[in-house]
Chains A and B, each alone.
Chain A
């Protein structure tokens, strides 16, 4: 029997089959569930990877300066500052340490002149240098000795709630290259005008790769120190303990893998209270992992049990038709091929419909539902990965068909008499 005849007969039987809505609905449901699961897993993995791998807190050590034991009554503010600066320099000189700073000198939130009717112009400025800047996707990085320059996000969203993104107001970073913006800060009762600083945007970066929000720009250490100091001066009493305390210091290591080495070196240098700034929430990670595995196992078992069982039940009603084919001279293998093709086509067609539906819903959610929009920007794009499609094909098409093969062979090997039913 020619394969095209097999195909035609299988297609005919498939298209003309009655009461297939429930059956098709079940298959579609499993397709959509499995796709959702794998896409969720992929994007969650991406989020965890970005939040762990690209979060600078995981390769940052917090520690107290060696002068933390000094009696502040016995030293002047300037002497204390010198000690602290010396600690900073000594730490910076360690191998693999790429930046050291005082608490409060890492980032700064300011109002920019990106403010308009829709955006309030709030941006976060983070210190950066040649070793700590993110990968630049357009323009250029800046040097430590530069001032008044900034690296801003590709999809720039300067707003108070930078993760609640309204897509229509996102600023295309490419429109901002080599343009300047001002920030205003340090407004107080004594300084009613505040300070203004101008930055020129010299480069762009992908904020999702650093797990930053879309309103975060990088500026030089020089500038962050200037801004924070001015802000402190404008808003605090110079003689208060806030300006005269022992600050916590932060040391940024080039890679998470080297963090323990650096920690040991710092301990040898008599620094104390050395801790990694960010710790993985293993409970959360485990919860996410276990929930994925649980749902995956449930879907897998359901597919292995429910779909073939239902298919077998439907095939039982085909026994007589199979018997007639055998009566007409069809071989066991012909019958097997026809019905296997029919089952395979059914699963493939339904899978394609399920996939199309899933893609449409996915795109709709990504474009219109706020929480998906936020994640879309946070992760540099929510994606339906190829692996999700591949695994869901394996589970929803290959696996049920494979499970059916032994049953089909058994059915086709039944005696013709028992297939068509005896009259006598």
Chain B
């Protein structure tokens, strides 16, 4: 009872951002249908840090791609801020992605031909609410907040792994999205840097963002509010701190 009360208190002040209802995902090859995700039912709230774990090939990245509107479920409902995404076309989904999501990848996925602040500015270019004059200022401010004041003009190839990932985090925050999706953000980093990144993400969740991290690392459990595991195509093992 006490635990349930704690859960209610925990979620009461938070906003439901994503609901997956009976979501399935499968791929069809010439020979057969391959099921990746089965009957996924889960809600995600703002101000919460979620970890999704599972062995390699379990469908973690598929799930996060669906969450980030990079892929669509084979069946089931995806409700984003109360909107069923099936009602929207590609252009509208792109707009929703721009406004609501920030992405962080294992390989950082920075453009090596753009400087750090230019990489952060990329998502802002298509955001009409940010005018051209304030883009650079905002990008620099984000980088400074992430401890990269001295690296603003550096190209990614001149940055360490941890620095590159922080630039990627700054880029993910460029349009001030409510949801941050991170697919193995510390996969290429050492333990110390891993801690730094998870600390940053935790801080963001405390500031109200919904953080969803796919990770192999056991360290993520220390920071996550909820840990899910994908086993045999199902999402299992919700745990609560």
Q: A residues engaging B (CB < 8 A)?
A: 1, 5, 9, 12-13, 16-18, 320-321, 323-332, 334, 415-417, 420-424
**Pairwise interchain contact B59-A327, C-beta atoms closer than 8 A:** no
**Pairwise interchain contact B62-A424, C-beta atoms closer than 8 A:** yes
Knowing A327-B70, A424-B56, A424-B58, the reply to whether A5 touches B125 (Cβ < 8 A) is: yes
**Pairwise interchain contact A321-B111, C-beta atoms closer than 8 A:** yes
User: What residues of A have a CB within 8 angstroms of the CB of B184 in the complex?
Assistant: 423
User: What residues of B have a CB within 8 angstroms of the CB of A416 in the complex?
Assistant: 65, 70-71
Q: Which of A321, A328, A330, A417 has the most CB of B within 10 A?
A: A328
Knowing A13-B113, A324-B111, the reply to whether A331 touches B94 (Cβ < 8 A) is: yes
Q: Within the assembled complex, what's the spacing in Å between the Cα atoms of A424 and B107?
A: 13
User: What residues of A have a CB within 8 angstroms of the CB of B183 in the complex?
Assistant: 423
Given contacts A13-B111, A324-B109, A327-B103, 18 further A-B contacts (CB under 8 A): A16-B114, A18-B113, A325-B122, A327-B68, A327-B70, A327-B109, A328-B123, A328-B171, A331-B90, A417-B70, A417-B71, A420-B105, A422-B62, A423-B61, A423-B183, A423-B184, A424-B56, A424-B57
Q: B residues engaging A (CB < 8 A)?
A: 56-62, 65, 68, 70-71, 90-91, 94-95, 97-99, 103, 105-107, 109, 111, 113-114, 118, 122-123, 125-126, 132, 171, 175, 183-184, 187, 214
**Pairwise interchain contact A424-B61, C-beta atoms closer than 8 A:** yes
**Pairwise interchain contact B113-A16, C-beta atoms closer than 8 A:** yes
Number of contacts between A and B (CB, 8 Å)? 82
- Specify the chain B residue showing the minimal Cβ separation from A419: B70
**Pairwise interchain contact A329-B71, C-beta atoms closer than 8 A:** no
Knowing A417-B70, A424-B56, the reply to whether A328 touches B61 (Cβ < 8 A) is: no
Q: Which of B57, B97, B187 has the most CB of A within 10 A?
A: B97
Q: Within the assembled complex, what's the spacing in Å between the Cα atoms of A16 and B183?
A: 28
Q: Within the assembled complex, what's the spacing in Å between the Cα atoms of A321 and B111?
A: 6
Q: Within the assembled complex, what's the spacing in Å between the Cα atoms of A22 and B90?
A: 38
Q: Within the assembled complex, what's the spacing in Å between the Cα atoms of A371 and B207?
A: 79
Knowing A9-B125, A327-B70, A329-B98, the reply to whether A320 touches B91 (Cβ < 8 A) is: no
**Pairwise interchain contact B114-A329, C-beta atoms closer than 8 A:** no
Closest Cβ of chain B to A136, distance in Å, is 63
Closest Cβ of chain A to B161, distance in Å, is 16
Give 8 pairs: A residue, B residue, CB < 8 Å, sorted on A: A12-B118, A18-B113, A324-B111, A329-B126, A415-B71, A417-B71, A422-B61, A423-B184
